Structure formats: C-alpha cells, structure tokens
C-alpha cells in the first residue's frame, strides 16, 4: 500500500514538474468570417436599442401564428402540456403570492422587447431563426393584441415595441436599485 502511494506521488510530481504552458498557435479550425460573426449578436435588451428595423401587424401575426405556432401553443394560446408548450396569454393578476399563479407573457413578463428576443432566437421550437424581423414584429403584435396589452389595430416596429407597457412591469425587484420592492 505504502509503495503504491509512493509511486503515485513520484509520478504526479514528475508530471507537474515537466508540464509547461503551451504558447504556440492552436493549429486547428479557422478564424470566423465577418459574415458568420454578424449572425451572433441576436440579443435584444429591454431598452430595444438594437432591435432590427421592421414592422408587423396583428392581422399578419394571426396568419403566422396559425402556420408556425398553434400546433404547439394551441389555437387560443392555451398551451399544450403534451408538447411542453406553455400557455402564452391570460392569468393576469394571478401572481399575488396567494393561490396558484398562472405564468404567461401577459401575467408575468415585465418587458415587451423580451418577447421579440425570445421568438427570434428560439421559436418555432423545432426550426428556430426561420422568421424574418417583420414576421417577429407581427407575432408580437398578435400575441400582445390577443392579450389586450395593445390594440389589435396597432402596428409594432423598432420604435413602438419598446414603448409597450406590460401589465406586470412593476412586479420585479430592480437589482441595481437600493431597497427596490415589487409593486403591491
Ligand atoms: C414544436 C412545438 C412548438 C412550436 C411550433 C412553437 N413553440 Fe413556442 N414553445 C415551445 C416549448 C416546448 C416552449 C417552452 C420552452 C422552454 O421552456 O424551454 C415554448 C416557449 C415559448 C415562449 C415562451 C413562453 C414563456 O412564458 O416562457 C414563447 C413566447 C413562444 N414559445 C412563442 C412561440 C411562437 C410565437 C411560435 C411560432 C412562431 C412558437 N412558439 C412555436 C414549443 C413550440
């Protein structure tokens, strides 16, 4: 037993003694091209400053929703448990700390730009990133219109989307603000 420990110690100390940081070039792959890099910054922050130029309406979104989303999220946006696809609207006012909360975009999400961000990066679930900017604005207009957060006649674009006021926007603690409390 003692001998095994001794051999192990000798081996590892030898290993550490000879290991040096590798300073040469890492000789595999190739630098990413500008075109490839341009597809990476897809994050849309709540201020909406980097939203792409585009616009979409409720009516356009209605059609797109039927084609790309309803199969999983349901025709009334009620969600489908079997697919793990959540309900998208409703439940407003249920996040009170009492009773069972119904968490949806309408009842929970504090910011409308996040809806653009989420759809453009992650939906449709099986074929993400197939939608154009106009199509994503249209889907936002449809979902927010159905939730009665905006009017069904409102058009959404890079300027109007960040101005949309969400029902639960006061329900979050601001980590950068001292003594921040969610609105009662
Ligand atoms: C193949 C099924 C499928 C399709 C089609 C689909 N989704 Fe989803 N969606 C999901 C699943 C599953 C989740 C949950 C993902 C997770 O929690 O990681 C989700 C989550 C979401 C969420 C986040 C909801 C929340 O409260 O967290 C939004 C918004 C959304 N989908 C919008 C859409 C839109 C818009 C379309 C159509 C362009 C679409 N989805 C198409 C399956 C689907």
The total number of residues written for the chain in this structure: 184
Asked whether 119 lines ligand 1 (CB < 6 A), one says yes
Cα angle 36-41-46, degrees, rounded to a multiple of 5 = 165
pLDDT at 183: 65
Give me ligand 1 centre to Cα 125, in Å: 6
pLDDT at 115: 98
Record the tokens describing residue 177, joined without a space: 């603000």
Does the residue 184 lie in any domain?
Answer: no
pLDDT at 6: 46
Q: Is 180 helix (H, G, I), strand (E, B) or coil?
A: coil
CA distances from 66 to 5, 115, 143, 156 (A): 68, 18, 12, 19
Give me ligand 1 centre to Cα 34, in Å: 30
Average pLDDT, the chain: 89
Asked whether 124 lines ligand 1 (CB < 6 A), one says yes
- Dist CA 96 CA 174 (whole Å): 18
Does the residue 160 lie in any domain?
Answer: yes
pLDDT digit string, tens, across residues 4-45: 554 454 445 555 556 788 887 777 888 889 988 877 778 999
76 compared with 96, residue with greater pLDDT: 76
Q: Sign of torsion, CA 60 66 67 71?
A: positive
pLDDT digit string, tens, across residues 107-130: 999 999 999 999 999 999 999 999
Record the tokens describing residue 59, joined without a space: 């009516």
Domain holding 123: CATH number?
1.10.760.10
47 compared with 1, residue with greater pLDDT: 47
Asked whether 102 lines ligand 1 (CB < 6 A), one says no
Residue 173 in contact with residue 182, Cβ under 8 Å? yes
Asked whether 81 lines ligand 1 (CB < 6 A), one says no
Asked whether 136 lines ligand 1 (CB < 6 A), one says no
Lowest mean pLDDT among 76-80, 123-127, 130-134, 180-184: 180-184
pLDDT at 10: 46
Q: Average the pLDDT over 131-153 and give the result.
A: 98
Does the residue 96 lie in any domain?
Answer: yes
pLDDT at 80: 97
Which pTM value belongs to this model? Answer: 0.83
Q: Which residues span the domain enclosing 155?
A: 62-168
Count of the separate structural domains present in the chain: 1
Supply the residue whose CA is at minimum distance from atom 11 of ligand 1. Answer: 85
Q: Average the pLDDT over 39-61 and give the result.
A: 93
Does the residue 116 lie in any domain?
Answer: yes
Does the residue 150 lie in any domain?
Answer: yes
Q: Which of 133, 167, 149 is nearest to 60 (CA)?
A: 133
Q: Average the pLDDT over 47-54 and give the result.
A: 96
């Amino acid at each position: 037993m003692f001998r095994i420990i001794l051999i192990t110690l000798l081996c590892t100390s030898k290993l550490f003694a000879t290991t040096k940081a590798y300073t040469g070039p890492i000789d595999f792959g190739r630098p990413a091209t500008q075109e490839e890099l341009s597809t990476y910054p897809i994050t849309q922050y709540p201020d909406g400053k980097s939203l792409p130029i585009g616009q979409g309406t409720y009516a356009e979104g209605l059609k797109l929703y039927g084609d790309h989303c309803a199969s999983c999220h349901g025709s009334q946006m009620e969600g489908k448990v079997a697919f793990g696809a959540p309900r998208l609207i409703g439940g407003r006012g249920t996040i009170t700390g009492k009773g069972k909360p119904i968490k949806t975009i309408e009842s929970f999400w504090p910011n409308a730009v996040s809806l653009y961000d989420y759809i453009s990066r992650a939906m449709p679930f099986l074929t993400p990133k197939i939608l154009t900017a106009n199509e994503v604005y249209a889907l936002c207009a449809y979902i927010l219109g159905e939730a009665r957060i905006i009017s069904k006649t409102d058009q959404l674009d890079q300027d109007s989307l960040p101005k949309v006021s969400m029902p639960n926007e006061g329900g979050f603690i601001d980590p950068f603000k001292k003594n921040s409390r969610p609105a009662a």
